[in-house]
Structures are given as C-alpha cells and as structure tokens.
Structure 1
Amino acid sequence: MPVSGVLFDLDDTLFDHRGAADRGVRSWLGHLGLDGMLEDHVERWFALEAFHHERFQRREISHVEQRRARIRAFLPGWDLADDTLADDTFAGYLACYRAAWSAFTDAAAALEQALGAGLRVGILTNGDQAIQETKVQRTGLASFGVPVFASSSLPAAKPDPRAFHEVCARLGVAPQDCVMVGDSLRHDVRGASGAGLTAVLVDRAGRYDRRRAEVAGVTRIRSLAELRWAS
C-alpha cells in the first residue's frame, strides 16, 4: 500500500480485549459463586458491555456511569443503588480483567514494521484516554512511542468522520494517504471509508467467513502479519 500513515485500532486489533474480558469475567463470576449457567452469564455480560459502552461513545453518559449501568443491569437482584457499592462491585471484575491483559502476539511486529517503513503511525481507539494509554503501557506497546488517540479526548468517537480527520491532522497525514486497520466493520472500516481513508478489516476469528456479502470489496486479513507497506 503506497501510503504515508496508518492508524491501528486498539481493542481486539492490537490488544486482546475480548480474551481478557472473557477470562476476567469467568474468574470474577467464580469468586461470586455465579459459575452456574456460566456461558449465559458471559454472553449477557458482553451484550451489556456493548450496549452501555456505545452510550458512552455517544456522550450520553460518562465512562464511570456506563460501568455502573452495566453492573446494575448484570446483577439486578443486588442492592447497588449506591454509587460506591456499584463501583466496588465492578472493581472486582476490573481486577480480574486487568490481570488478564495482553497484546496479540503480532501487535509489536506490526507497529515495528509500519514505523520501519517510514509511516506516521497512531492508535485510534474508542474509550477513555487514560485507560487506553494504560493498556498500551502495561502490554509493552508503549515502547514504540506511538501516540494513542482515544475518543474521550477527540471531538467524536468512531465511526464519526471527525475522529479520523482530527487524528490525521495531528499526525500530519491527509486522510486519503492514511490506512485504518481495525476489527470493527462499523467503527473502523465503514467509519474510515466514510472519512476518506483506506480501511483494512482484521477478522482474526473468521467472523465474516459466512457473511461474505457484508464485507464485499473490503480488504480483510486474519493477522496483522499479513500487512505489507510500500513507499
């Protein structure tokens, strides 16, 4: 790809969020004695995460408020009306989640390759700036010196074009000369394309193998090791 810049998504592109969250919630549920019907509990946890995190991205609620909404919806029989109790209960999951943090094995090499090709590289992620930066630091990816741009510090979240345009401007790259690499068809691929960037979909688990119509015309890879850059 003859481009001058590349943006990487963080969660489930460079950083194994789904894996860490899955391991974390299972461990946490075991501590709570809620390991019966475990698969149902885990799927409900992820459904609530997706719903309330999207509300946070739309600026309807704060990051802390989306956590409280999730934990109250997940444990409706618990008396979590008090914010401190809700926060303390969520902290139990959070500790298990953080203990499972890791970058994908191809993440470091992907950043190194892009930087070695002379590209201007950034991480564009939906989320809280401090939390996303901590993930990058804790997984060793901060050693590459790649700036992290989280939606909480941007005019809007992906897939809003303003998120892409703002980050391109900060990197000094024209949108048409930049590639977005991410795992979300809506936020990363459709959002980037709508903002004038080229997009690459990272489909690690082959989610779209049976839904080819949804990704017709989209460049799709199974690993970041498949990326190749040309000047």
Structure 2
Amino acid sequence: MRLLHRRSVVSAPQARHFRHVPRSLHGRCPVTVRAVTLDLDDTLWPFAPVAARIDAALEGWLAEHAPRTAARYDRAVVAEALAAVRAERDHLAHDLGATRRAVLRRLLDAAGEDPALADPAFAVVWAARQRVELYPDAAGALDRLAARVPLLAVTNGNADLALTGVARWFAGCVSAQGVGVGKPHPRVFEVACARLGLPPADVLHAGDNLDTDVRGALAAGLQAVWVQRDLPGDAPGDALGVRDLTALADLVEQAA
C-alpha cells in the first residue's frame, strides 16, 4: 500500500515509522483529525458493477411487465427522457429516486403503457442499486477508522447504509437529496460538520473524485484525501493522495 504525497511517495509500512504525517494537511503539523467523512460510490465499492446490475434488472423487469417500453428502451431514449425530466422538474436534480421514477413514467407513457408501473419498476432498480461489493481493503480499513474516529457518509448518490451493509461503521449519512445540493457545494460539507459537532478544520473528507470530494472539501475548510486507487496524478493543493482505504486508515491512525 502506498501513501502518496503530492510531491513524494511513502509506502504505508514506512509511514508507520513517522512520528507525524510526512506533511500536514493545511500546512499544520501534527495534523488533528477528530472525524472522517467518506464518499461511498467508487470509494468504498466500485459503482460500474452496480450500474450494470441496475440496467440488467430493469431491462428484465420491463421485458416481462412492460414489453412495449422494453422494446424501445435504449441509451438514447433514456437520455432524452432524462433531459426532459430535468428541464421540467429541476427541483428533482438531487433526488435520484424521484428523477428515475419520473423518467420511467415518461418512458411507459410514450410506449402506451401504464405510467403507474413506474413504482414497481423503480423497486427493482432500488434493490439492485443496494447490492454492492466492497473493495477488498474496505472492511478492514473501516474497522480501523471507526475504532479511531466517528465516520459520516457524504454522498451525491442514493445508496442506503443499512441495505448496502455498511451502516455498522457510520454515525449517519449526509446526502445531496437531504441537503438539496450536492458536492462540491460547501453546504453539503457544512451540514456534515454540523452533524458531527466539529469545526471543518478538524474533519477529514476522503473520496475518489478530485472535484466533488477533494476540491469541494478543501473549499469548505475541511482536510481532504484523494482515494486514488488506480487513478494517476497528484492530489491538488493541501490535499494528500492515498492508494486505497488501508493507506487512509494508516494516515488517520497517525493523525487522530
């Protein structure tokens, strides 16, 4: 495992021999981390397999229960329906479930089938969305992190902590749907810090997306770590990069 600094590379075993983190976040040394906020999709689990399961489950359900809709269901048709829903109902922008149901109603209606079928169709989507497979490093790292500091999920998605099986590690979840705006908007991070009862400078946010997670957290005054996995490049500004969640746990154990 490698703990990546934006100018240096330090292996996780080497990092354990540092008295403090090699370089402080926000220029402070030693770093103080009193809580960690974590992104979910592509940070705790890969999202591509989830998306594939959603598509397969929905297409199978439509083929059985709404065959005319299934016959015209393709990426272009869905994209057109999604654009129309967003144009008509911009207040749903951060409510992925309501947006998906509205798209399904539009598709069903356009095919001459009952729009009420959108609800059972969405139930299939929802169930598939919650079937996740954690990265191999995730469970052990979450055990270590949760033993050290409070963890709060901060997500633009609609994964359910209980249904995905990760609730035992988290004190709760702040979502774009609940706040009304998504990362990187500072309001999301402000709500997370308020939920934790901590100033932003004492909270570390970690996620896979440079813009929504890393730059968003830094702009809101949090410390930030980019969970890179196989992504190339350097973490921006005062952020640090880690190869995976094991390296993140190494970092937090030194800083908490």
TM-score, length basis structure 1 = 0.70
Deviations 1:182-213 (A, max 9, x none): 1222211121111011211223342xx3xx48
Aligned length: 210
Please state if 1:156 is matched with 2:181.
Answer: yes
Deviation at 1:175, TM superposition (A): 0.7
Cα root mean square deviation, aligned: 3.8
Instruction: Kindly indicate whether the alpha-carbon contact (under 8 Å) linking 2:206 and 2:227 is maintained by their aligned counterparts in 1.
Output: yes
Specify the alignment match of 2:132 in structure 1: 101
Instruction: Kindly indicate whether the alpha-carbon contact (under 8 Å) linking 2:225 and 2:240 is maintained by their aligned counterparts in 1.
Output: yes
Deviations 1:112-159 (A, max 9, x none): 222333x2321112245xxx4xx3223432223522222333363321
Instruction: Kindly indicate whether the alpha-carbon contact (under 8 Å) linking 2:152 and 2:171 is maintained by their aligned counterparts in 1.
Output: yes
Q: Does the C-alpha gap of structure 1 residues 185 and 51 become closer, same or farther in structure 2, counting only changes over 3 Å? A: farther
Report sequence identity in percent: 32
Specify the alignment match of 1:68 in structure 2: 101
Amino acid in the other structure paired with 1:148: C
Q: Does the C-alpha gap of structure 1 residues 198 and 79 become closer, same or farther in structure 2, counting only changes over 3 Å? A: farther
Q: Which range is displaced more, 83-92 or 174-183?
A: 83-92
Amino acid in the other structure paired with 1:102: E
Amino acid in the other structure paired with 2:206: V
Amino acid in the other structure paired with 2:59: L
Specify the alignment match of 1:85 in structure 2: 117
Q: Which range is displaced more, 11-20 or 193-202?
A: 11-20
Q: Does the C-alpha gap of structure 1 residues 74 and 190 become closer, same or farther in structure 2, counting only changes over 3 Å? A: farther
Equivalent runs, 1:10-25 vs 2, <5 Å: 10-25=40-55
Instruction: Kindly indicate whether the alpha-carbon contact (under 8 Å) linking 1:24 and 1:96 is maintained by their aligned counterparts in 2.
Output: yes
Which residue, out of 140, 143, 148, partners 1:112? 143
Amino acid in the other structure paired with 1:156: V
TM-score, length basis structure 2 = 0.64
| CA–CA separation in structure 1 for the residues paired with 2:109 and 2:228 | 34
| CA–CA separation in structure 2 for the residues paired with 1:96 and 1:170 | 29
Q: Does the C-alpha gap of structure 1 residues 11 and 76 become closer, same or farther in structure 2, counting only changes over 3 Å? A: farther
Deviation at 1:29, TM superposition (A): 3.3
Which structure has the larger Rg over C-alpha atoms? 2
Instruction: Kindly indicate whether the alpha-carbon contact (under 8 Å) linking 2:225 and 2:241 is maintained by their aligned counterparts in 1.
Output: yes
Deviation at 1:107, TM superposition (A): 2.4
Instruction: Kindly indicate whether the alpha-carbon contact (under 8 Å) linking 1:7 and 1:181 is maintained by their aligned counterparts in 2.
Output: yes
Q: Does the C-alpha gap of structure 1 residues 9 and 23 become closer, same or farther in structure 2, counting only changes over 3 Å? A: same
Q: Does the C-alpha gap of structure 1 residues 44 and 5 become closer, same or farther in structure 2, counting only changes over 3 Å? A: farther
Q: Does the C-alpha gap of structure 1 residues 219 and 194 become closer, same or farther in structure 2, counting only changes over 3 Å? A: same
SS of equivalent to 2:226? strand
